[in-house]
Structure 1
Amino acid sequence: METELAILQEQMVSFFTLLVIGYAFARTKLVKDEVIDAVPSLIMRLVLPAMLLAKLPVAGTPEQLLHMGWVLLAIVLMFGVHMLFAFLSGKAMGLKQPTLNVHLAVCGLPNSAFVGYPLLFILFPDDTALFMATYMIMDTVMLFGVAPILLNPAGRGEKRDWKVLASPTNVCMVIAMAMLLLGLKFPAPIQATLAGIGDMSKPLGLFYIGADIARRGAAKLLKRWQLYGMLPVKLVLAPICVFWLIHWLLPVDDMHIMMVGIMAMLPSMITVCIQAKEYGTDAEYASGGLLVTTVASMFTMPLVMGWMVRWLG
């Protein structure tokens, strides 16, 4: 585990560098706004689907996937703890609707796609694909089920667009899971090409975050004091609570405890900002939450993971 901690510390430097590059490119107008705006769609419609098709079919055997039940329960517990902490902290800070619901989404949903999966593949290259196949079951429920319910303004009569369930990411996840269960694999050249595309998720995602911070203006996004009250809850208290509960309640091995723990300490999900803007809720709070949690996580993740490593021995 000490090796993984050292790798994580190195990755935090890489993450921060990519954020600064994105910020600098946007501030100096070296990249146009329309290009920046296209990055999330590119990741969600091409890069992540390619990652799924490259990684999941070779993640393991059907028998191994079926034995991930306790890990899936640990992931469910992780989301439950985060949503509970988000609700309690939002109420304690006196947030009102629709900001309270935005706070629940910002505090309760981790940035798995742009930060979590790439990080896990670096830390646990031989075991992440099978974990990701399990994690994406709950991740999809939260992203396309819970998040739209939270962020779609109540009382305005909007109809939910269930076509989001047929997104390229979900379709490719189904295809990749079917290939895993049937033991099918792509030819080596196609496999390598898909893997190369999938590896772009980290640099593109962090570049976008940095560029979007520059465009929106950090000072404007940081004026809400509740964002700072959220930081210790989301990035420290909730991950530690998740770690304790899984460690004491579930028969999950140390490696998977660490994997779930890492997902629990991630910054906020970029998609929350996109959905908040689309549905007309408090998009400024969502963007501020993305900014403060992304920057703060560069410091909190090594600290919290270091504590977990020392506890597991």
Structure 2
Amino acid sequence: MIIFHTIESIFSIVLMIATGYILTNKGWFNPEASKLFSRIITNIALPTYMIWNLMSTFNKDGLLHLATGLVVPFSSMLACYIVGYVVSKVIKVKSNRQGTFRSMFFVSNSIFIGIPVNLALFGEESVPYVLLYYIANTSLFWTIGASGIRNDGALGKEKVSPLEVVKKIFSPPLLGFLFAIFLILCNISLPRFILDTCKYLGNMTTPLSMLFIGIAIYGVKLSNIKVSKDMIAILLGRFVVSPLIVMGVTHFIPLPLLMKKVFIIQAMLPVMTQTSIVAKSYGGDAEYAAIMTTVTTVIAIVVIPVYMLIFQYYF
């Protein structure tokens, strides 16, 4: 029964992505619409969703207990980066792709895909764990990951100020998360009409994220997708190495079962959407990143039910 529920949930996500793809093909959406959706999701939907979800789910004691799980995503992602670094040397990834390759190997699309997928699989109670993984994911991407991508590009030789890095890490979604934590720790309650507004705005996250992904997939030409050792290595990194490392870490660090499952799903999600954006801004191989984002997103739809089947028999 669990596997059928999973497939149904994934089909719902597929239909929303397909809607974005079809409407882009019909001319309803274009790159400007994609940028608009991204800005709405990042600056409005996600921050308000985090405020509503956390304040509706946690009290002070529960929040303090939740924070202990942060060590798992940070340690597992750092371990995955090391593996990706070694792999990039062994298979001799091109010098103008090495940073991008390593970033795609160890960082996942933990928010645009992470929230819709985990909501579909585990329900609202999974969201706080999704946000924990997101903290590690965004912190490491905008430090280690972005630094490597910057070194790939012709425009990335200039020094980046620490202030710029901090601004990238403390994005609106993370600020919304921290604001909610502050209110909870200080025992401050928001009026019901504000929480309801946050809920309604936050509910835009899933449909807009899926439409955004559909637009992005449409923008990649199938003729440009060629199987290579880079692609195979990234697929193994995303769907095998990264979740296996999380399983290994959680073997030594006991976690609530749902938190463990969410972290594993977060670890095996597709390449982070912002990878191609950062690569483009620094004059790197943005098309390479965009192709891998598309390929891993499509393959994730097949892999997610496999992990849910593993959960059913081994957890």
TM over 0.5: yes
Question: Aligned residue for 2:139?
Answer: 141
- Map residues 123-142 of structure 1 onto 2, 5 A cutoff: 123-125=121-123, 127-142=125-140
Letter of the structure 2 residue corresponding to residue 156 of structure 1: K
- Map residues 187-206 of structure 1 onto 2, 5 A cutoff: 187-206=191-210
Q: Distance in 1 between matches of 2:101 and 2:300?
A: 17
- Cα gap change, 1:253 to 1:175, in 2 (>3 Å): closer
Q: Distance in 2 between matches of 1:128 and 1:54?
A: 14
Letter of the structure 2 residue corresponding to residue 226 of structure 1: D
* Shift, 1:310, TM fit: 0.8
Question: Aligned residue for 2:54?
Answer: 56
Contact 1:222 1:292 in 2 (8 A): no
- 1:211 and 2:218 are equivalent in the alignment: no
- Cα gap change, 1:185 to 1:123, in 2 (>3 Å): farther
Any stretches of 5+ residues in structure 1 without a counterpart?
Answer: none
- Cα gap change, 1:204 to 1:181, in 2 (>3 Å): same
Any stretches of 5+ residues in structure 2 without a counterpart?
Answer: none
- Cα gap change, 1:200 to 1:6, in 2 (>3 Å): farther
Question: Aligned residue for 1:80?
Answer: 78
Question: Aligned residue for 1:263?
Answer: 266
Q: Can you list the C-alpha shifts for 1:55-76, whole angstroms capped at 9, x where unaligned?
A: 1223312222222354222222
2:174 pairs with one of 166, 170, 175 = 170
Question: Aligned residue for 2:157?
Answer: 156
Q: Can you list the C-alpha shifts for 1:224-280, whole angstroms capped at 9, x where unaligned?
A: 55223321331123313421331x211223222111111111111111122111122
Question: Aligned residue for 1:242?
Answer: 246
RMSD of equivalent CA atoms: 2.3
Which aligned segments of 4 or more residues in structure 1 are displaced greater than 4 angstroms?
A: 221-225
Letter of the structure 2 residue corresponding to residue 22 of structure 1: G
Q: Distance in 2 between matches of 1:123 and 1:79?
A: 23
Question: Aligned residue for 1:18?
Answer: 16
- 1:251 and 2:249 are equivalent in the alignment: no
* Shift, 1:126, TM fit: 5.0
- 1:282 and 2:280 are equivalent in the alignment: no
Q: Distance in 1 between matches of 2:199 and 2:213?
A: 23
- 1:182 and 2:186 are equivalent in the alignment: yes
- Map residues 98-137 of structure 1 onto 2, 5 A cutoff: 98-125=96-123, 127-137=125-135
Contact 2:103 2:275 in 1 (8 A): yes
Contact 2:216 2:294 in 1 (8 A): no
Letter of the structure 2 residue corresponding to residue 51 of structure 1: Y
Q: Percent identity?
A: 22
* Shift, 1:101, TM fit: 0.7
Contact 2:108 2:238 in 1 (8 A): no
Q: Distance in 1 between matches of 2:230 and 2:206?
A: 28
Q: Distance in 1 between matches of 2:168 and 2:257?
A: 35
Q: Distance in 2 between matches of 1:232 and 1:137?
A: 24
Question: Aligned residue for 1:94?
Answer: 92
Letter of the structure 2 residue corresponding to residue 200 of structure 1: M
The count of corresponding residues between Structure 1 and Structure 2 is: 309
Question: Aligned residue for 1:71?
Answer: 69
The TM-score with structure 2 as length reference comes to: 0.88
Q: 3-state DSSP class of the match of 1:156?
A: coil
- 1:227 and 2:266 are equivalent in the alignment: no
Contact 1:221 1:284 in 2 (8 A): no
Question: Aligned residue for 1:45?
Answer: 43
2:309 pairs with one of 299, 306, 310 = 306
Q: Distance in 1 between matches of 2:191 and 2:67?
A: 30
Q: Distance in 1 between matches of 2:109 and 2:22?
A: 22
